[in-house]
Structure 1
Amino acid sequence: MEELQPNKHYMHWTVIALLDFVTIISFENIFYPFQNQGLSVVISWIFLLFTYVIPYELISSQMSLTFDNQDGGLASWVRRSSNDTLGYVTSWMYWVQSIPYIVDVSNSVIVSFSWMILGDNTLGQKMSPFWFGLLTFGLILIFILLENAIKNSLEILSLIGGGAMFIMSALFVLLAGYALTQGAHIATQPFNWHSFMPNFSLKYFSTTGLLIFAMSGAELAAPYVVRMRDPKHEFPKAMWLLAIMTAFLTIFGTLALAVFFNGNQVPHDFKMNGPYYAFSLLGQQLGLGNILMYIFTVVQTIFMMAQLAVLLDATSRVFAGDVADNFMPKWVTRKNKNGRPVNSYLMTTGLSLFLLLLTGTLPDINTIYNWLLNINGIVSPYKTCWVFFAFIAVRWQDKKFHSDYVFIKNKTGALLIGGWCLLFTFVCATLGFIPQEVKFGTWAFTHQLILNFITVFVLFGLGLVMPWLRKRELRKEKDSDVA
Structure 2
Amino acid sequence: MADKKIRWFTVSMIAFSMVWGFGNVVNNYAQQGISVVVSWILIMLLYFVPYALIVGQLGSTFKTSSGGVSSWVKETTGKRKVAYYAAWTYWVVHITYLAQKPQSVLIALGWVFKGNGRVATDMSVQIVAIISLIIFLIFLFLSTKGLTTLKVIGSVAGSGMLVMSILFIILAVAVPFIDPSFTVATPDMGSLKTYIPDFNLSYFATISMLVFAVGGAEKISPYVNSIDRPTKNFPKAMIFMATMIGISAVLGSVAMGMLFDSNNIPDDLMANGAYSAFQILGNHLGVGNILMIIYGLAQTAVQSSALAFSIDAPLKILLSDADPEYVPQWLRKKNKNGTLINGYLLTGILVSIIIILPIFGIKSMSILVQWLTNLNSIVMPMRYIWVFFAYMMLNAQYKKFHSEYKFIKNPKLGFFVGFWCFAFTILACILGMLPKVDYAADPSSWMFQLISNIVTPIVLILLGMILPMIAKREKQKQLN
TM-score norm. by structure 1 comes to: 0.92
The equivalences for 1:377-396 within 5 A come to 377-396=377-396
Residues 1:147 and 1:228: Cα distance change in structure 2 (over 3 Å) = farther
Aligned in 2, Cα 1:25/1:346: closer, same or farther, shift over 3 Å? farther
What's 1:451 paired with?
452
In the TM superposition, what are the counterparts of 1:310-459 in structure 2 within 5 Å?
310-320=309-319, 322=321, 324-361=323-360, 362-439=362-439, 442-459=443-460
Greater Cα shift, 232-241 or 247-256: 232-241
Residue 270 of structure 1 and its aligned partner are, at CA, apart by 0.4
Corresponding letter in the other structure for 2:103: N
Report the alpha carbon displacement of residue 439 of structure 1 after superposing the two structures with TM. Answer: 2.4
What is the CA–CA distance in structure 1 between the aligned matches of 2:311 and 2:280, rounded to whole Å? 34
Alignment partner of 1:99 is 2:100: no
Query: Which of 40, 48, 53 is the equivalent residue of 1:53?
Result: 48
Provide the rounded CA distance (Å) in 2 between the counterparts of 1:233 and 1:474.
50
Aligned equivalents of 2:121, 2:383: Cα separation in 1: 36
Q: 1:152 to 1:12 in 2, by over 3 A?
A: farther
- CA distance change for structure 1 residues 38 and 124 in 2, over 3 Å: closer, same or farther? closer
- Tell me if 1:157 matches 2:156: no
CA–CA distance in structure 1, aligned partners of residues 176 and 265 of structure 2: 20
Equivalent residue letter for 1:436: K
Give the alignment of 1:302-313 within 5 angstroms: 302-313=301-312
Q: Secondary structure of 1:344's partner?
A: helix
Q: In the alignment, which residue of structure 2 is the partner of 1:281?
A: 280
CA distance in 1, matches of 2:54, 2:461: 25
Q: Does 1:194 align with 2:189?
A: no
Residue in structure 1 matching 2:63, options 57, 68, 74:
68
Aligned partners of 1:355, 1:228: CA distance in 2, in Å? Answer: 41
TM-superposition CA deviations, 1:323-358 (whole Å, max 9, x none): 532211122122334433222111111110110121
* Alignment CA distance shift 1:108-1:10 (3 Å): farther
1:185 equivalent in structure 2: 183
Question: Structure 2: how far apart are the matches of 1:11 and 1:306?
Answer: 27
In 2: Cα distance, 1:429 partner to 1:128 partner = 29
Whole-angstrom distance in 2 between the partners of 1:153 and 1:23 = 20
- For residues 139-162 of structure 1, give each alpha carbon's deviation from its aligned partner in whole angstroms, at most 9, with x where no partner exists: 222222222333533333232111
Question: 1:69-88 CA distances to partner (integer Å, 9 max, x unpaired)?
Answer: 11111111112111222211
Aligned to 1:168: 164
Q: Residues 307 and 234 from structure 1, CA distance in 2 versus in 1: closer, same or farther, beyond 3 angstroms?
A: farther
The Cα shift of 1:101 comes to 0.9
Task: Verify: 1:264 aligned to 2:276, yes or no.
Answer: no
1:131 has 2:127 as partner: yes
Amino acid at match of 1:467: P
Deviation at 1:12, TM superposition (A): 6.1
The one-letter amino acid paired with 1:455 is T
Secondary structure of 2:401's match? Answer: coil
Q: 1:120 aligns with which of 116, 119, 140?
A: 116
1:34 equivalent in alignment to 2:29: yes
Deviates more, 1:445-454 or 1:199-208: 445-454
Deviates more, 1:358-367 or 1:18-27: 18-27
Q: Which position in structure 2 is the counterpart of 1:205? A: 204
Q: Which moved more, 1:209-218 or 1:451-460?
A: 451-460
Task: Give the superposition deviation at 1:23.
Answer: 4.0
- Following the alignment from structure 1 to structure 2, what is the Cα–Cα distance between the partners of residues 431 and 342? 37
Cα displacement string for residues 346-382 of structure 1 (whole angstroms, at most 9, x for unaligned residues): 1111110110121111112111111111111111222
Could you say what secondary structure the match of 1:413 adopts?
Answer: helix
Measured after TM superposition, the shift of residue 229 of structure 1 is 6.8
Partner-residue secondary structure (3-state), 1:324: coil
Unaligned runs of 5+ in 2: none
Q: Does structure 1 conserve the Cα–Cα contact (< 8 Å) formed by 2:26 and 2:269?
A: yes
| Structure 1 residue 126: Cα displacement | 4.3
SS at match of 2:399: coil
Query: Is the partner of 2:380 in helix, strand or coil?
Result: helix
More divergent stretch after superposition (228-237 vs 453-462): 228-237
Q: 1:57 to 1:198 in 2, by over 3 A?
A: same
Matched residues in 2 for 1:365 and 1:200: separation? 29
Q: Distance in 1 between matches of 2:347 and 2:224?
A: 28
Structure 1 stretch 13-22 or stretch 115-124: which is displaced more? 13-22
Cα shift readout 1:278-301 (whole Å, capped 9, x = no counterpart): 001111111221111111111111
Aligned residue identity for 2:426: F
The 1:52/1:357 distance shift into structure 2, 3 A limit, reads same
In structure 2, the residue matched to 1:469 is: 470
Cα contact 2:2–2:228 (8 A) shared by 1:
no
Question: Post-superposition shift, 1:27?
Answer: 0.8
Q: Is the 8 A contact 2:320 2:332 kept in 1?
A: no
Shift of residue 231 of structure 1?
5.6
Shift of 1:237: 4.9
Q: What is the distance in 2 between the residues matched to 1:67 and 1:157? A: 32
Q: Could you tell which deviates more after superposition, 9-18 or 82-91?
A: 9-18
When the two structures are superposed, what TM-score results if normalisation uses the length of structure 2? 0.93
Separation in structure 2 between the aligned mates of residue 405 and residue 314 of structure 1, nearest angstrom: 29
C-alpha distance in 2 between matches for 1:120 and 1:472: 54
- Are the equivalent residues in 2 in contact too, given 1:69–1:226 (CA < 8 A)? no
Name which of structure 1's ranges 151-160 and 66-75 shifts more when overlaid on structure 2. Answer: 151-160
> Helix, strand or coil: the match of 1:405?
coil
Q: Could you tell me the percent identity over the aligned residues?
A: 34
Query: Out of 106, 121, 132, which is 1:110 matched to?
Result: 106
SS at match of 1:138: helix
Unaligned 5+ residue runs, structure 1?
none
- The Cα of 1:428 is off from its aligned counterpart by 0.9
Q: What's the CA shift for 1:430?
A: 0.6
Distance 2:232 2:330 in 1: 42
Distance of 1:457 and 1:401 partners within structure 2: 34
- Relative distance call for 1:198 and 1:315 in structure 2 (3 A) is same
Bigger shift: residues 137-146 or 19-28: 19-28
| Preserved CA contact (<8 Å) 2:268 2:366 | yes
